[in-house]
Structures are given as C-alpha cells and as structure tokens.
Amino acid sequence: MRTPVDVAVGVLVERTPAGEGRFLLTSRPDGKVYAGYWEFPGGKLEAGESVEEALRRELHEELGITIGAVHPWKVELVDYPHALVRLHFCKVYDWVGEFEMREGQSMAWQDLPVQVHPVLPGTVPVLQWFAAERRFDGATHRG
C-alpha cells in the first residue's frame, strides 16, 4: 500500500445569525493535477509541521489571508491515481486580510447545492457532511 500524503484543508465558513453560512471553494490552478477542479483550499504538510501550522502557511501562501482559530473537523483518506492522500479537514470561521488568488486560481463562496463544477473527488465527502449537518440543524432548530 502506498504511504499517504498528509494534507491540511481549510473549510472557510461564514457565520450567520442562523449558524453556518456559505463556504469557500477555490479552483485548482493550471499546471496542477486536476487543474480547473474545485476544492477546499490547503496543501501538504511539510516535515515537522502540524496540521494547523500547514493550514496557516498554505492559506497565507495561496489566498493572502491570516486565519484565526482552527477547528479540526474530520479526516478522510482518498486514493487518487497519482497519490494516496490523508485530508485533514478543519473548519475556519475567522480570518483577516483581503483574498488574493496568488496561484491564479478562482474562488467562489458556495452553499448547497454547489454551483461550481467539476468538484474534486476529495471535496465530495465534505459536501455530504455539510448536507447531513445542516439538515440535522434545521430539523432541531426551534425558532
């Protein structure tokens, strides 16, 4: 079996009075595997880095923002043809700075169902988790 590559993934979520709102997806830049596919931003952990450290570095490098608290959420193993990746999904609700697409990628604030396509296979489980969470929250919310 191949050794998994650890990847820190930022699920940036807007807070709304009703709870969690839209989330940020970015496109994979030209020259990368799956160029043009939409995903949650992030990147590989470097030697000795924690998931949080990698996420802070990657989001600053890719998007030009400085993130606040990191909330570890779920871990998913995805077997792509080019690599086995262990995706460490972390929710982020607070950040500062203006978004800059430093790798020539695009960004889009999305809700369910997402309007951007195609979506990277490793992104699909997150959309399913959001659907389950948000249906659950809606079913138990008493207004």
Sign for the pseudo-dihedral over CA of 47, 51, 55, 57: negative
**123: nearest Cα among 87, 79, 81:** 87
Q: Domain limits of the chain?
A: 5-140
For 63-85, what is each residue's pLDDT tens digit?
A: 999 999 999 999 999 999 999 99
Q: What is the pLDDT of residue 135?
A: 76
Instruction: Tell me which residues of the chain have a pLDDT lower than 50.
Output: 137-143
Q: Which CATH number fits domain 5-140: 3.40.50.2000, 3.40.50.1000, 3.90.79.10, 3.40.50.11600?
A: 3.90.79.10
Question: What's the predicted TM-score (pTM) here?
Answer: 0.90
